[in-house]
Every structure is written in structure tokens, then in C-alpha cells.
Structure 1
Amino acid sequence: MCFCCTRRPQITTGAYCSSKRCAVIGGSGFLGRHLVEKLLDRGYSVSVFDIRQSYELPGVTFHQGDLCDNQALLSAMKDVSLVFHCASPAPASDDRKLFERVNIQGTHTLIEACLEAGVQKLVLTSSASVVFEGKDVKNGREDLPYAKKPIDYYTETKIEQEKVLVLEACDKEKGFLTVAIRPHGIFGPRDPQLVPILVDAARRGKMKFIIGDGTNLVDFTFVENVVHGHILAAERLRPDSPICGKSYHITNDEPVRFWDFMSEVLVGLGYAAPRYHLPYTLVYGLALLLWLLALILRPLVSFKPTFTPMRVALAGTHHYYSCDRAKRDLGYKPVVSLKDGIERTVQSYPHLRQGA
């Protein structure tokens, strides 16, 4: 089905500035909640759609439901002109059917619901990983080709979600505009993934080793900067804007050595920094072998290796991205520095400190 062929009334430019009603799909998640809070600060009326409700806030209406349920989505989009789509399973879940259901089928249903409800703008939370194949990416721009050999199911489905579904649905003539934001390495307070997993590994004695020579540069992006990029894109998404149907990298614009970042977080929480080096090719080969073994044995026994090929690639290669397009078209610049972001993140996890 071509989403752009749906008949819709013409929308004038002025209508894009008149409404402050929006919906955040996946608003109970890490990024989604931070986005909801910032939208409220900026005077928006917010409707949250998620499979669960994890908090309450004045001015926010919660709708619980399945992303593949058109009618449930429509109830959350009443009188809404702008939708942020942040819903996605965690990359580490390694569940192909779940990724396909949420990132592909769910996004397909969401776009249909947007068109039916008269939504004018859709901002997708994509990922810089859509151009990453496990090899070095240095100052990568948005014109890099999509990964031909995606390194995991998450990336595979995010490519189809961004390229085939969301960006191709953009149609100025029919009044439905879309844009994709590609953050990389999101971290910050309330993050349920990076810091808790890192601390758990440290407590089990698995953070003693550095994969590779430790000089690989990567992007880690403080959550408030990711939120800032989303809102800038939403407020500039107009029929006369160059951002329609495009993707934008959003990072802290401060590439850092991967293991320096990890060490700073660990030391800040009272744990020892990794010290011993392991050859990248050796660790990657072992991770690939374990992943294949887990795949073969899955019908009989279930186990998840600590180091997957994707995790090893992320830990041992260069992967940082240019924000030049976002600076030019969105007026983007980070609002929180990497140093301040790390400090605020560490302070937000007193329960994860050594000895807590």
C-alpha cells in the first residue's frame, strides 16, 4: 500500500503553527518520557500512547494499547496535529518477530491511523545504526547508503521503518509531512539500558577488558540533546521546509573514545576502569561463534551471550556521525555538553554505586 495515495484535504502553512496538541507514541519509555516532559515545558498538550503507563503528569493523557491496533491509536490522536514515534523494543532484545511487529507492522498501522485522524506531521525516532555494518564510520553523513548487511534485527527493521515506511509517506500536496531523527548512543537519567547493564557487568567482574586498542571514537548523546533535536524538527516541519522526508543525525557532536566514556561512568559510580586489552578480531570471532551456537540450540535451550557481534562491533570500531545537516536545516546544537551529561547521569544512579 502506498500511504501517499490516501486522499487528504490541503493543509495551509499557517495550520502547522496553530496547534500545540501532540501525541508521543512510546511515551512511557526512556526517551519518550524525557520528550513528554520537555514538550510540557514548551506549552504543548500531550497525549501518550504506550503498551504500559509508567508515570503520571499533569496535562498528559495516557492511552494504553497495542501499536498494531488502529482503533486504539485513533483514540490517542483525537485533535492531534503532531505525532512523535519513539516506540521500539530495546536493541538488545534480539527478538526478530518482536522487532518486525513493532518497528514494521506497528509503524505501518501508525501511519494509517495518522492519515485517518488528519495528523499533519510525524517525527520518527530512527537510529544512526541504519548505516552501520560493523565497520568503521568516521564523521558519517546522512547520505551514506543504508546498511546492506545489517548487523542485527533491530537495525534491519529500523531501515525498513525509516526508508520504506516513514520517509516515503511524506507528501506535501496531501498535507502529511514526515522527518526522521537518527540519534546515536543515547544516555542519561532513568536510562534502563546502558548504565544498568554496564554496572551489572562490572559487579560480575566482566568489565576488566578493553576490546581492541581502545582508541576508537564513538558518539554518545545525552538524552536532552536528542529531545532538543526532535522538537526542532517538529517545529520546522512545514511544506516550505527542506527537512520534509529527510533524516538527521543528532549527537553530542563530541566524539569520545568508547572506553574512556565507559571508564568515566564506571569510576564515577565507584567501580574500577577496564585495564586489560583483548584483540578485536578474537573477541568478535568468539561472539559470532556464541551467537550462532545460541541460534542453533534455541529450540532446546535458551541462553543469551554477554557479548554479541553487535556489542563487540560497537565497542571496538569507530562510529561517529556528522551533525552538519541538522545544524544547517534545524538550527541544532547540543544544549548539554558531554561532560555535564555524564556527571548528571552518574549522579542520578545512587542506587547503582559500588557498595550501595
Structure 2
Amino acid sequence: MATSIPEKLQVLVTGGSGFLGTGIASALLDKYPKWRISILDQRPPDPQVAHRLDRVLSADIRVAESVHKAFLDYNPDLVVHTAGVIPAGTKRYSRKEEDWLRVKAVNYDGTRHILDAALASGCKLFVYTSSCTVVTDDMEHDYFYMDEKIPTGLATLHYGKSKGMAERYVLSPEHAGKGLVTCALRPCTIIGPTDTAVISRFHEVIANGETNFIVGDGNNLYDFMYIDNAVLAHILAVENLLTKQTAAGHVFFISNQEPVYFWDFLAYVWAQFDHVPKYRVHIPETLAWAVASVLECKTWLTGTASALDRGSVRDGSRSLFANNDKAKRILGYEPIVGLRLQKIPSD
């Protein structure tokens, strides 16, 4: 364990061409220009970042041999593992075995392959991007001010279940026994420029003419997180593992620390797209559930997916927001960008 940040370091960011990974790689390049920052991804990196990288590695993280081949002549000092897949649209609520296997192959098996290859290369520092869904994908409950004491392993949706499995693998005492120093971050829903996953969903609701209702009483609170804050939390985790290591073996919820009324926030986002519903009707959750069931049947018959299904009804009526006290205390995390100051990207 060092007492100060090393002047030179070899760092790998997996998923480094993605929304979060690009932000982390760019921030590390800016803050530590003498570090050798590389990414691992199957997609090409952002052109503004690419020329500053030490290496661009390509591997299919679902396949152990592909990952180990990428590490053959590469020995990072630290890995930030952001690579993963988030099921989009109605796939988020899928119960199909083939969908589970696809998500598990990337989020769990892929994490195992990256960590195992990193250990084999001699790497001893590992920051894992988990997700708040390791808790909240247990759809039966609201989560008010959730913290790290809440047990995991109860998630029923593919994404949260796979991320929880990967989180437990990363933080396994077996790996600590081999000298691996790790921590995991659980960001909430991340938004910002170049985001496509969340914003495309908002566009989809507009396109389907489904902005005129509010499920439930509309008083449910929800955490969104601006990308700069998610990047900052990862940088702080990296710096902690390089110095004090007080974060070692820990998980941390991170958010903007400003939960918003879910349906009010959606209305704000729609307004950025010049869409203001002419009216909005409160629909009881039980009625919305019934309507969603009908729309799911329509989807099955016509093949045209609706943005409203039983899963989204439940998600849209729950309160889900986190307590960041642990991240503040150990990492020194404080959000630097508030939601209300941002213009939502149009694409």
C-alpha cells in the first residue's frame, strides 16, 4: 500500500468505449497525464480519447480464452471494470431463460473472466462497477434511503441478479486471500450527454403516445445520477485503493443525493424535447397493471412493443433512492453536478 498517488501507473478500463467507461478513461487521462491508460472493448473508443490511450484491447468478455489472450502481453496495475450489458426496453423485465443466459454471460461470466485474467497478470487492484439494482431488482419492495446493510441475492430481474452475482465474486474472500484489493460501486440510473439507454426510453414513451398518465399518486421518489458524479466516484475509489485502502472489500451506493419525484422528472425531460402532454391522468397501479397486461398481449399478437408493461408499471410506482453516507465517509464522495443545472441531451 502506497502513502501517495504513484506518478506512473498502468490502468485498464474495461467497457472503455461505453458511456461511463469513456468518462472514466478521459478523467484519468486529464488528472494523471503520466499514467498509461488503456481500454478493453469490442467497440472503437471515442476519437477524442483514442489518441491519448496507451492501448486499445479487444476481447469478447463472455469467452475466457478471448480475455486471457488480450492479457497475454499486458500487465495492468489496476483495473476499473465497467463493461456490462443492460437489458433494454421490455427485455429488462424478461423472464425468458435465453435472455437470462445472455445477460449472465456478459455481466457475471465476463466479470469472472476479467478478474481472473487480471489476477493472472499480477494485477492486485480492482474497482468494480456494480449497480443499485443488486437491491432494487427485488421488485416486491420500495427502497427508501437504502444503504449497504440491506441484503442482496433477492433480485429477480436479470440485470440486478447478474450484477449481484458478479459483485459477490469480485469481493470474495478467496480473492482477498490472493492479495487482490477490490471495492464495488453501486450507481443509480446514470444520465448525461451521449447517454442512449435512458434517454431513448424517454423518447420511446413519447413516440408511443404514453405520456398522458401517471401510475399511482405520483409521489414516488427516484434516484438519477449525472455522469460526472459517477465518474468522480470511480476516480475516488481508484485513489483510495492506491493509498489508504479503507475502501477495500466494501460496496458503496452512489447517486446525486437529490431524489426527485419520478413522474415530475419525466415531465421535465419531455419538455426538453418540446413535448408537453396536454393532460395527465392518475391511474391506480392495479388498473395500470391490467392495461399493461392487455398491451403485452397486443405486443405478442402484433410484434409492436409498448413502452408500458407490468414491469414498468411496478418500477414507475416505486420509491427507490439511496443513502450515500458510506461513500461520503470513506471515499470523500460529494456530487459536483446537480440535476437541475443540466440540459437533457436530445439523443
* Alignment check: 8 A CA contact 1:238 1:244 kept: no
Q: Secondary structure at the match of 2:182?
A: strand
Q: Secondary structure at the match of 2:330?
A: helix
The one-letter code of the counterpart of 2:59 is G
Q: Which residue of 1 aligns with 2:95?
A: none
Q: How does 1:199-210 map to 2 (within 5 A)?
A: 199-210=203-214
Deviations 1:128-177 (A, max 9, x none): 111122221110011101152x24111111111112x1111575553311
Indicate whether 1:67 and 2:61 are aligned: yes
Q: Secondary structure at the match of 2:185?
A: strand
Q: How does 1:318-329 map to 2 (within 5 A)?
A: 318-329=319-330
1: CA distance between counterparts of 2:311 and 2:174? 31
Residue among 17, 42, 62 paired with 1:28: 17
2: CA distance between counterparts of 1:284 and 1:18? 56
The one-letter code of the counterpart of 1:333 is E
Gaps of 5+ in 2: 93-98
Residue among 86, 92, 95 paired with 1:90: 86
The one-letter code of the counterpart of 1:78 is Y
How far did 1:103 drift? Answer: 1.1
2: CA distance between counterparts of 1:309 and 1:169? 38
Q: How does 1:288-327 map to 2 (within 5 A)?
A: 304-327=305-328
Deviations 1:209-259 (A, max 9, x none): 111111111110001101110110111015853311111011000011001
Indicate whether 1:79 and 2:72 are aligned: no
Q: Which residue of 2 aligns with 1:5?
A: none
2: CA distance between counterparts of 1:239 and 1:37? 21
Deviations 1:67-111 (A, max 9, x none): 134454353582311111111112324421211111111111111
How far did 1:49 drift? Answer: 0.8
How far did 1:306 drift? Answer: 2.3
2: CA distance between counterparts of 1:174 and 1:240? 19
Residues 137 and 186 of structure 1: CA distance in aligned 2, closer, same or farther (over 3 Å) = same
Residue among 126, 145, 148 paired with 1:142: 148
Indicate whether 1:58 and 2:51 are aligned: yes
How far did 1:316 drift? Answer: 0.9
Q: Which residue of 2 aligns with 1:156?
A: 161
Q: Which residue of 1 aligns with 2:96?
A: none
How far did 1:28 drift? Answer: 1.3
Q: Which residue of 1 aligns with 2:264?
A: 260
Q: Which residue of 1 aligns with 2:40?
A: 49
Aligned-residue identity in percent: 31
Name the TM-score, length of structure 1 as normaliser. Answer: 0.84
How far did 1:328 drift? Answer: 0.2
Residues 294 and 40 of structure 1: CA distance in aligned 2, closer, same or farther (over 3 Å) = farther
Residues 316 and 32 of structure 1: CA distance in aligned 2, closer, same or farther (over 3 Å) = same
The one-letter code of the counterpart of 1:82 is L
Q: Which residue of 1 aligns with 2:234?
A: 230
Name the TM-score, length of structure 2 as normaliser. Answer: 0.86
Residues 173 and 161 of structure 1: CA distance in aligned 2, closer, same or farther (over 3 Å) = closer
* Alignment check: 8 A CA contact 1:131 1:145 kept: yes
* Alignment check: 8 A CA contact 2:240 2:246 kept: no
Q: How does 1:171-250 map to 2 (within 5 A)?
A: 171-172=175-176, 174-238=178-242, 241-250=245-254
How far did 1:116 drift? Answer: 0.8
Gaps of 5+ in 1: 1-11
2: CA distance between counterparts of 1:107 and 1:289? 38
The one-letter code of the counterpart of 2:150 is L
Residue among 28, 41, 56 paired with 1:39: 28
Residues 290 and 270 of structure 1: CA distance in aligned 2, closer, same or farther (over 3 Å) = closer
Q: Secondary structure at the match of 1:91?
A: coil
* Alignment check: 8 A CA contact 1:68 1:110 kept: no
1: CA distance between counterparts of 2:294 and 2:208? 22
The one-letter code of the counterpart of 1:58 is H
